[in-house]
Amino acid sequence: MLENLRNIGIIAHVDAGKTTTTERILYFSGSKHKVGDVDTGDTTTDFDPLEKAKGITINSAAVTVEWGETRINLIDTPGHVDFTAEVERSLRVLDGGVCVFCAVGGVEVQSEKVWFQANTHNVPRIAYVNKLDRMGADFFGCIEQMKEKLQVVPAICAIPVGQAGEFQGIIDLVEMKFILRDKTDPNNIRYTLVDIPESHREQAAEYRHQLLETASLVDDHLVELILEEKPVPTELLKAAIRKGTLENKFTPIVCGSSKNFHGVQLLLDCVVDYLPSPYDRPPVTATVFKSKDKETVQRKPEPTEPFSALAFKTVSESTGDLVYTRIYSGQLRPKDEVLNTTTGKTERIARIFRMMGDKRESLDVVGPGEIVAVVGLKNTSTGQTLCDANHPVILEEIRFPDPVIAQALIPDPKSDETKLADALAKLVRDDPTLKFRTDPETKQLILSGMGELHLEISVEKLMRTPGVMVSTGKPMVAYRQTLSKTVEVETRFIKQTGGSGKYAVVKCIFEPLDKERIEELRAKAEEEGQKVDPNNIFFFNKIVGGAVPREYIPAVEAGVRAAAAKGAKYGFPCVDMACTLIDGKYHEVDSSAEAFKLAGTECCRDAQVKAGITLLEPIMNVVVVAPENYQGTLAGDINRRRGEILNFSSDKGRCHIHAYIPLAGLFGYTSDLRNVTSGTASFSMEPSHYAPVREELADLRKPGAA
C-alpha cells in the first residue's frame, strides 16, 4: 500500500555520519547480516572503489529496507559541496529527508546548504543529531545553532542521558521512557523501554512540556488537554507531530550515536510516524506536451493515472545505461514503450530493478511513488520526462549550478581518441555539473566542474576506461566579463562579391546591468513566459518605422547573443548586459537574416572594444575551522589570497573563520591548510558570486599552461 511507502534521503555536511547511519538502518532492518563501516570500506552505499579509497560518499546510492509494515526507499547522498548535483537531484524526487548533524560540529556550512536546498523543494525533514559519544558533543548547543542558522522550529522528541564520555543512552520524550540497550547482546539489537533515570526526570519533564507546546501549534485538541492538565495520549501526540512535520511548521529532532548503535531504531520509528508517504505529498504538476499556452495538468500517485516519471540519475555501464527513475503516476512494466517528451523519442523498457547499493532485485511491475532503476533507455538523461505516449506531459526539469573551475585534459599519445570522446560524453551525461569542450584556439580539451576534488574524482573515473589515459594541466578559473560603461554603436555589414551581396546596418545601445536591474528584468521575463538567459543577456527592440524589417530582428538578437557567449577580448562569456536595437538600414535585394545576424555579432564585439570590459572572477563562500591558536596565521593567509574575512567566532577551543575568497586563490588550499595546521583544520567552500578583478591579478594564461 502506498500509505506504507517512504521515499527519504540522508543529507548532511561531510563527515556528519550519513553513511554510517544508513549502514545501521540496513542492519537493524534485517537487510544485511553484517554491519559495514566507512573505515573498513565495506559499506553498502559507498561501493565505488573511489569512495572506498577516499572514505567519502561521491555518488548518491539507493537502498530499500522494510521497517515493520513500511517499505523505505532511502538515498544516501554526498556531503561534500563539490558533489552538490547528487544532493540536488535526490531532493527533487524525495518525499522526506533525514538531515544528520554532528553533535560536535553542529550546523556546518554544507548542512546549511542542503537544508535550504530542501526548503526550496518543500521537503519535510527530521533532524538527527549524531555522534553524542564524541568528545565535545553538545546536543542542546547544536539545536540552538539550528534555530539561529536554519530558522528551525524544533520539536525535540528525544534527549541524551549524558554526552561525550558520559553518554549512556537516549530518552524518548514521546513515550517518556529511557531506551536501555542490552549490553549483553552481541548483535546490538535488543533494548527495553524503562523508567527515566532519576537524574534526568526533571529535564525530561521540561522538554516533554516544550514538545507538547510545539505540537499544539497544529492541534487544538492538544491545546485543550494541556490547559486542563490532562494526560496526552501517545497516538494523539504522534499525529500532531506528523501533521506539523508534513506542513513544515516544525522539525522533529532525535539523537543518537550511529556508530555505537544508539538512536537509529528510534529514528526509523520517526521516519514511519512523521515523514510523508507519496499520498501525503501534493500531486505533481506537469505541462502538457506541445501545448501552445503551456497548459498544465496534475498527476496523482494512482496506478490508474497515465504513466509519468522523472529520470533523475544515469549511470553508464558496459551492459547498458542504468537510469534511476521516480514514478509519479501510473504503472511501468518491462517491455513497455514510453515517450521521452524532452527528446520527443520513444524508448523501450528492458528491465526494472530495485536497487540495494550495487546489488539489484528484478521487478515485474512498479507503481506510483516508487524509485527504481531501469535498463534499456538509449536516449534518456538526467532531468528528462518519461510518460504515456497517449497522455504526453513534461515534468519540471532539475536545475544544476554552473561549473566554476576548469582544467585542461592532455591525452596520452597512446590513448584511443574515440574511446576518450565516448568516455567523456558518458561522464558529463552522468554528472550534469561537469562540462567539457574543445578550445577553438588551443584545440585542447577543457573539463569544467565544481571544485578541485570534483575534477580530481572525475579524471580518476575517466582513467578507469580501458584505453583512456590523460594527464591534467593546472586548474583554470572560469572568468566572466561585462561592459565597463554604456555605449552606442553603429555597425555596417556590407559585402559585395558578385551576384547578390550582404547588406545590414544596425545601431544599438549596450549597457552593463547592476544586480537590481537584472532581478527586475528576470522577473519581468519570467512573468511574460520568456526564457531567461543564464548569463543575464537581455535584448530589446525599439525599431520604429521599419528601419529594420521585423523578420530580421531575431537574427540581430541571435548575432548579439553569439558574440556575448564568447567575449571579444579574452573569450570568456559576456554577462549582465542589455542590448537595445534602436535603428538600422536594409537593402531590398542584398539584405538577409544571415547578414543581420553577422551585423549583430560584429556590433556586440565593437561595443566590447569601445566600452572596455570589466573582468569578473568567481568568489567562493569559505568557512575554515581550526584550533584557536592558528587563527592569526589563517587570517593572514586568507588576506594573502585576496580574501575578505566576514567574521570570526570561537567555540570550545576552535575558531570558525567565514570569508569570501577568489577561487583563483584557493588552488592547493587543501594541502596548504593541512601543512600549516598539522592536519587539525578543515574547510568547506561553495560558489557565492562573481566580482570585478583587475586584469593584472587574473590568471589569463592559455588552458593547459603550467
Distances (CA, A) of 52 to 22, 161, 427, 684: 16, 34, 20, 21
Distances (CA, A) of 565 to 215, 535, 571, 658: 53, 9, 8, 33
In the β-sheet with 284-288, what is the strand arrangement from edge to edge? 296-299, 284-288, 393-395
CA distance 340 to 381: 10
CA distance 644 to 657: 10
For the record, the C-alpha cell of 589 comes out as 535585394
* Pairing between β-strand 96-102 and β-strand 125-130 as defined by DSSP bridges: parallel
| Mean pLDDT, rounded, for 108-115 | 79
The pLDDT score that the predictor gives to residue 170 is 96
The pLDDT score that the predictor gives to residue 499 is 65
For the record, the C-alpha cell of 190 comes out as 535488543
pLDDT band at 615 (very low <50, low <70, confident <90, very high): very high
| Mean pLDDT, rounded, for 70-84 | 78
Highest mean pLDDT among 157-166, 315-324, 435-444, 697-706: 157-166
Exposed/middle/buried for 417, CB within 10 Å: 0-12, 13-18, 19+? exposed
The pLDDT score that the predictor gives to residue 379 is 87
Could you read off the pLDDT of 309-323 as tens digits, one per residue? 999 888 887 777 889
The pLDDT score that the predictor gives to residue 701 is 62
| Mean pLDDT, rounded, for 217-243 | 94
Residue of 624, 665, 611 whose CA lies nearest to 643:
665
| Mean pLDDT, rounded, for 482-490 | 95
CB of 68 closer than 8 Å to CB of 358:
no
CA distance 206 to 506: 74
615-697 CATH fold: Alpha-Beta Plaits (3.30.70)
| Mean pLDDT, rounded, for 235-251 | 96
Q: 523-550 burial, b for 16+ CB within 10 Å, e for fewer?
A: eeeeeeeeeebebbbbbeeebeeeebee
How many of the other CB atoms lie within 10 Å of CB of 635?
Answer: 17
How many of the other CB atoms lie within 10 Å of CB of 185?
Answer: 11
Q: What does the H/E/C string look like for 450-497? A: CCHHHHHHHHHHHHCCCCCCEEECCCEECCEEEECCCEEEEEEEEECC
pLDDT band at 35 (very low <50, low <70, confident <90, very high): low
CB-based contacts of 635: which residues, under 8 Å, 6+ apart?
645, 648, 657
Q: What percent of the chain has pLDDT over 90?
A: 52
pLDDT > 90? residue 11? no
Distance between the two ends of the chain, CA-based, in angstroms?
Answer: 60
For the record, the C-alpha cell of 280 comes out as 501525503
The pLDDT score that the predictor gives to residue 704 is 41
pLDDT > 70? residue 31? no
Q: Tell me which of 129-138, 283-292, 509-518, 536-545 is least confident.
A: 283-292
CB of 81 closer than 8 Å to CB of 374:
no
CA distance 77 to 527: 34
The backbone region for 376, taken as left when phi is positive above 0, alpha when psi lies in -120 to 50, beta otherwise, is left
For the record, the C-alpha cell of 695 comes out as 586584469
Average pLDDT taken over every residue of the chain: 87
CA distance 662 to 616: 10
DSSP SS3 for 536: coil
2-280 CATH fold: Rossmann fold (3.40.50)
Q: Tell me which of 105-109, 159-163, 292-296, 698-702 is least confident.
A: 698-702
| Mean pLDDT, rounded, for 373-390 | 91
The pLDDT score that the predictor gives to residue 345 is 93
Domain locations in the chain?
2-280, 284-395, 405-478, 485-611, 615-697
CA distance 311 to 607: 43
Sign of CA dihedral 665, 666, 667, 669: positive
Strand intervals (E) in 22-130: 61-67, 70-76, 96-102, 125-130
CATH number of 284-395: 2.40.30.10
Specify the DSSP element, H or E, that contains 118: helix 109-120
| Mean pLDDT, rounded, for 190-201 | 93
Residue of 567, 651, 686 whose CA lies nearest to 116:
686
pLDDT > 80? residue 705? no
CB-based contacts of 335: which residues, under 8 Å, 6+ apart?
348, 349, 350
Could you read off the pLDDT of 203-227 as tens digits, one per residue? 999 999 999 999 999 999 999 999 9
Could you read off the pLDDT of 320-362 as tens digits, one per residue? 788 999 999 999 999 999 999 999 999 999 999 988 767 788 9
The pLDDT score that the predictor gives to residue 579 is 95
Q: How many residues does the chain have?
A: 706
Q: 48-63 burial, b for 16+ CB within 10 Å, e for fewer?
A: beebeebebbbbbbbb
The pLDDT score that the predictor gives to residue 48 is 54
CA distance 579 to 506: 12
pLDDT > 50? residue 706? no
Specify the DSSP element, H or E, that contains 238: helix 234-246
485-611 CATH fold: Ribosomal Protein S5; domain 2 (3.30.230)
CB-based contacts of 587: which residues, under 8 Å, 6+ apart?
503
The residues with which 359 forms a beta bridge, in sequence order, are: 356
Same fold, 405-478 and 615-697: yes
| Mean pLDDT, rounded, for 522-542 | 85
For the record, the C-alpha cell of 551 comes out as 523578420
pLDDT > 80? residue 446? yes
The pLDDT score that the predictor gives to residue 129 is 97
Residue of 2, 17, 628 whose CA lies nearest to 262:
17
The pLDDT score that the predictor gives to residue 703 is 44
The pLDDT score that the predictor gives to residue 142 is 95
CATH superfamily, with its number, for domain 405-478: Elongation Factor G (Translational Gtpase), domain 3 (3.30.70.870)
Q: Tell me which of 273-287, 516-530, 604-618 is least confident.
A: 516-530
The pLDDT score that the predictor gives to residue 57 is 52
Phi/psi for 601 (5° steps) reads -65, -50
CB of 420 closer than 8 Å to CB of 387:
no
Specify the DSSP element, H or E, that contains 329: strand 322-329
pLDDT band at 46 (very low <50, low <70, confident <90, very high): very low
| Mean pLDDT, rounded, for 187-207 | 93
CB of 518 closer than 8 Å to CB of 576:
yes
